[in-house]
């Protein structure tokens, strides 16, 4: 096999609670991961030696991204270092959005290169590599909806939700690292509350006035939730009539994605 194509799905967090900070710098969490049908498109072509990334996003063409880091980790397992790969990725999942695009890309890279280079690495070894790249990568390698604990790497399969998902992207690039720091500061003030569905939500809207105004205006009428540490929000709904009103009120410069839930990721079929 010299060529692999796949789709990398996004996720939403149906709930997300941040617990204690660990010695390794990560935080223990409790969450529910739900896969959705918003995809980045990736292809992998075996080459002579180098790791080359081509993309519609400039930031992914270099070495400072999860795709390159994953490929490098896998290449370290090669006995024949002459193998290389040309990776092409077309990004559709917003970056810095809490939808896990970078982690999904990393997971697909790990699984694809293990197969492309005939490494036959064990599930345990692949899991170790995934965890080294990022906290959400093990979930995307798992490939199924799951309850997550630990840093998000202890996974228990769950069924998919049935409702459609309206994803609202306010076009804000959010740093997870920065959001965890802000959350730590937020918790120090006893007067500050934590939204039960997502502990990051209050922190996020307090630093983004336009989002705060939107949530305060429509939050009682619609169950608006945040995914990950933001910036994307979502509303679950059964039919189009339920969201007709709010669609007219969402700022025109924001992006919308009309998604359906997935039970399995395409990574299961690589």
Residue spans of the domains in the chain: they are 1-270
Catalytic annotation, pick one of 11, 73, 91, 144: 11
DSSP for 95-130, please give it: TTSSS-HHHHHHHHHHHHHHHHTT----HHHHHHHH
* pLDDT of the residue at 202: 96
pLDDT in tens, 100-157: 999 999 999 999 999 999 999 999 999 999 999 999 999 999 999 999 999 999 999 9
* pLDDT of the residue at 190: 81
Burial of 80 (0-12, 13-18, 19+ CB in 10 A): exposed
* pLDDT of the residue at 79: 78
* pLDDT of the residue at 48: 87
Alpha carbon separation from 39 to 96, 108, 196, 203, 227 (Å, rounded): 15, 12, 28, 28, 16
* pLDDT of the residue at 78: 85
What are the residue ranges of helices labelled H in 79-208? 101-116, 123-133, 137-142, 176-188, 201-206
Measuring CA to CA, which residue among 107, 93, 157 is closest to residue 137?
107
For every one of its 270 residues, what pLDDT tens digit does the chain have, with 9 covering 90 and above?
Answer: 899 999 999 999 999 999 999 998 899 999 999 999 999 999 999 998 899 999 999 989 989 999 999 999 999 998 776 789 999 999 999 999 999 999 999 999 999 999 999 999 999 999 999 999 999 999 999 999 999 999 999 999 999 999 999 999 999 999 999 999 999 999 999 888 898 899 999 999 999 999 999 999 999 999 999 999 999 999 999 999 999 999 999 999 999 999 999 999 999 999
In whole angstroms, how large is the CA radius of gyration of the chain? Answer: 19
Neighbouring CB atoms inside 10 A of 76's CB total 9
Active site residue 64: no
Active site residue 153: no
Which distant-in-sequence residues (6+ apart) come within 8 Å of 18 by Cβ?
27, 28, 29, 180, 183, 199, 200
Are the C-beta atoms of 67 and 89 separated by less than 8 Å? yes
Alpha carbon separation from 67 to 90, 103, 248 (Å, rounded): 12, 9, 37
Quote the CA–CA distance of 144 and 157 in Å, as a whole number.
6
Catalytic annotation, pick one of 40, 73, 91, 136: 136
Strands 84-90 and 51-55, how do they pair? parallel
Asked if CATH classification 3.30.230.10 holds for the domain at 1-270, the reply, yes or no, is yes
Query: What tokens were used for 80?
Result: 């024949």
* pLDDT of the residue at 196: 86
Strands 225-226 and 164-169, how do they pair? unpaired
The whole-model pTM stands at 0.96
DSSP state of 159: P
């Amino acid at each position: 096999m010299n060529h692999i194509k796949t789709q990398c799905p996004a996720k939403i967090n149906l709930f997300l609670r941040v617990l204690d900070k660990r010695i390794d710098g990560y935080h223990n969490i409790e969450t529910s991961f739900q896969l959705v049908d918003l995809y980045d498109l990736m292809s992998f072509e075996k080459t002579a030696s180098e790791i080359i990334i081509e993309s519609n996003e400039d930031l992914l063409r270099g070495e400072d991204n999860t795709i390159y880091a994953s490929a490098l980790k896998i290449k370290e397992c090669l006995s024949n270092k002459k193998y290389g790969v040309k990776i092409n990725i077309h990004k559709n999942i917003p970056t810095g959005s809490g939808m896990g695009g970078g982690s999904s890309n990393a997971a697909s890279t790990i699984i694809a290169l293990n197969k492309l280079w005939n490494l036959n690495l064990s599930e345990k070894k692949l899991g170790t590599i995934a965890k080294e790249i990022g906290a959400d990568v093990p979930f995307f390698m798992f490939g199924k909806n799951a309850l997550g604990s630990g840093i998000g790497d202890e996974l228990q399969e769950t069924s998919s939700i049935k409702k459609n998902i309206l994803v609202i992207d306010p076009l804000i690039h959010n740093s997870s690292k920065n959001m965890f720091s802000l959350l730590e500061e937020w918790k120090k003030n006893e007067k500050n509350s934590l939204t039960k569905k997502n502990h990051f939500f209050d922190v996020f809207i307090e630093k983004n006035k336009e989002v705060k105004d939107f949530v305060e205006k429509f939050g009682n009428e619609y169950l608006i939730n945040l995914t990950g540490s933001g910036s994307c929000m979502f509303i679950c709904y059964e039919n189009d009539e339920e969201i007709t009103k709010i669609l007219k009120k969402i700022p025109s410069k924001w992006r919308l994605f009309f998604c359906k839930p997935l039970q399995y990721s395409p990574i299961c079929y690589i």
